[in-house]
């Protein structure tokens, strides 16, 4: 059966472009990230605000920035924003609006002899993103503070491969200047002595020197690991690591944008379960926290028993499968 | 389903209140202050 088209690729591409529309940041001769007031607002998906093109803030980065600041211990602004988005769209953000989700999907298009849809330990490993949310995004920035009362964004610092790919790769691995020095916002100078592999950031005000070391290579290694695994496994970062997906996933069962299932229409062919990259059976696990609302199940259904949209749809199309559901 | 709709409305009301309170106590400025500088931790050198 021919797969139905839904225009999702176009929406994902437009969302990624809109999120990173400060194009001069990529192509200018100097490091020049966007510094306008738009950055006080968050983007719904995961997109590093140190990406040269980013015009909005990453909600996970912003949450840690406020929690780790001297003035606040929690961020009602960012948490409230995530709740509004999660209760309205759920993980539809992951399927349609997240630039890093698009990158993983493109990587998964690369042909490979054996793609892994599920494996032993797959479902327990999916709980890891909730642990990362609780520990690295909330607890560590809240508790591990320096004498000045500030802390690091520990998820961004130690885990986030999106930051490494969208921030470190364009700024440090392939900086805008081929050699010499460039000035970063805040007076930092990026020093590239003769194209040497070691990159140093020098703060002329405090004479503080930053250089690529263990942390940098850890982040680049983790990013490369996620990139390579994305070829074999569908959206591994979304499944196992993304704290934003954890928040939106928890709200998926009640989100306004939802998957609908007509049990009377269903012929139980199993096409939807086979099409699901997240290894769900939509007829039993409708609006499950792991569903990224990509719509592949809707497109695969030969009798249109599944649909997707805001609310419950027309009468008679009401939900008839269990909400959320258990893992297989 | 009615339960989900009620929960959703409660979450949205609470979330809207969180956003308003967060804006009023100046969290927006904190987000902006951090996001307009290159995050050294994010790029692995901080």
The bridge status of strand A189-192 relative to strand A306-310 is unpaired
pLDDT single digits (tens) A168-193: 888 777 766 544 444 454 455 555 44
Q: What is the pLDDT of residue A328?
A: 46
Its sign, for the CA torsion A115, A129, A162, B41, is negative
Mean pLDDT of all residues in A211-215:
78
Subunit contact B42:A323, Cβ cutoff 8 A: no
Tell me which chain B residues have a C-beta less than 8 angstroms from the C-beta of A86.
11
A299 Cβ under 8 Å from any chain B Cβ: no
A312 Cβ under 8 Å from any chain B Cβ: yes
Instruction: Write down the mean pLDDT value for chain A.
Output: 86
Please count the other Cβ atoms lying within 10 Å of the Cβ belonging to residue A73. Answer: 11
Instruction: Tell me the residue range of the domain where B19 lies.
Output: 2-35
- Give the integer Cα–Cα distance in Å for A62 and A171: 20
| pTM of the full structure | 0.87
- Residue A14 neighbours by CB under 8 Å, 6+ apart: none
Domain count, chain B: 1
Tell me which chain A residues have a C-beta less than 8 angstroms from the C-beta of B15.
79-81, 83-84, 87
- Region of residue A325 (left: phi > 0; alpha: psi -120 to 50; beta: else): left
Cα A125 to Cα A87, A130, A213, A238, A289: the distances in Å are 25, 10, 29, 12, 14
Which residue among A39, A72, A256 places its CB closest to the CB of B8? A256
Subunit contact A78:B30, Cβ cutoff 8 A: no
A180-183 β-sheet, strand order: A180-183, A189-192, A200-203, A208-211
Burial per residue of B2-32, b for 16 or more beta-carbon CB atoms within 10 angstroms, e otherwise: eebeeebeebbebbeebbeebeeeebbebbb
Q: What is the DSSP letter of A259?
A: E
Q: Which residue has the higher pLDDT, A221 or A180?
A: A221
Please count the other Cβ atoms lying within 10 Å of the Cβ belonging to residue A8. Answer: 17
pLDDT single digits (tens) B23-39: 999 999 999 999 998 88
In a domain, B17, yes or no: yes
What are the structural domains of chain A? 8-172+213-247 (no CATH), 257-328 (3.30.70.20)
Q: What is the pLDDT of residue B43?
A: 83
pLDDT single digits (tens) A251-307: 999 999 999 999 999 999 999 999 999 999 999 999 999 999 999 999 999 999 999
Subunit contact A201:B18, Cβ cutoff 8 A: no
Q: What is the pLDDT of residue A232?
A: 97
Mind telling me how many Å the CA of A117 is from chain B's nearest CA? Answer: 30
Q: What is the pLDDT of residue A25?
A: 83
Tell me which chain B residues have a C-beta less than 8 angstroms from the C-beta of A253.
4
What is the ipTM score, two decimals?
Answer: 0.95
The bridge status of strand A189-192 relative to strand A200-203 is antiparallel
pLDDT single digits (tens) A233-252: 999 999 999 999 999 999 99
- Residue A176 neighbours by CB under 8 Å, 6+ apart: A28, A29, A30, A31, A32, A182
Q: What is the DSSP letter of A70?
A: S
Q: Above pLDDT 70, what percent of chain B? A: 96
A199 Cβ under 8 Å from any chain B Cβ: yes
């Amino acid at each position: 059966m021919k797969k139905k088209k839904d225009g999702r690729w176009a929406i994902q591409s437009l969302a990624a472009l809109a999120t990173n529309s400060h194009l001069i940041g990529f192509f200018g001769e100097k490091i020049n990230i966007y510094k306008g007031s738009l950055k006080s607002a968050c983007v719904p998906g995961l997109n590093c605000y140190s990406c040269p093109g980013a015009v909005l803030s990453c909600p996970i980065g912003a949450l840690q920035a406020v929690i780790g600041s001297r003035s606040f211990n929690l961020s009602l602004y960012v948490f409230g924003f995530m709740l509004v988005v999660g209760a309205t769209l759920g993980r539809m953000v992951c399927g349609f609006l997240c630039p890093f989700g698009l990158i993983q999907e493109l990587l998964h298009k690369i042909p490979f002899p054996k793609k892994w849809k599920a494996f032993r330990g797959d479902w327990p490993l999916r709980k890891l993103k909730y642990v990362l949310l609780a520990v690295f995004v909330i607890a560590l920035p809240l508790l591990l503070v320096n004498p000045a009362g500030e802390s690091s964004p520990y998820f961004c610092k130690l885990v986030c491969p999106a930051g490494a790919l969208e921030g470190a790769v364009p700024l440090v691995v392939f900086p805008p200047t081929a050699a010499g020095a460039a000035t970063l916002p805040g007076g930092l100078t990026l020093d590239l002595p003769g194209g040497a592999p070691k990159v140093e950031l020098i703060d002329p005000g405090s004479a503080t020197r930053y250089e690529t070391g263990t942390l940098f290579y850890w982040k680049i290694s983790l990013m490369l690991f996620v990139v390579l695994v994305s070829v074999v496994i569908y959206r591994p970062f979304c499944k196992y690591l993304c704290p934003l997906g954890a928040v939106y996933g928890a709200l998926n069962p009640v989100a306004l944008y939802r998957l609908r299932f007509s049990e009377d229409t269903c012929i139980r062919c199993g096409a939807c379960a086979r099409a699901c990259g997240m290894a769900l059976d939509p007829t039993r696990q409708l609006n499950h926290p792991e569903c990224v609302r990509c719509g592949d199940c809707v497109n695969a259904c030969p009798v249109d028993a599944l649909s997707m949209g805001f609310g419950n749809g027309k009468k008679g199309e009401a939900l008839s499968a269990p909400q959320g559901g258990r893992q297989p | 389903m009615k339960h989900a709709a009620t929960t959703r409305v409660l979450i949205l009301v609470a979330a809207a209140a969180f956003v308003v309170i967060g804006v009023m106590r100046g969290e927006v400025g904190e987000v902006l202050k951090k996001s307009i500088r290159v995050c050294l931790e994010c790029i692995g050198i901080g």
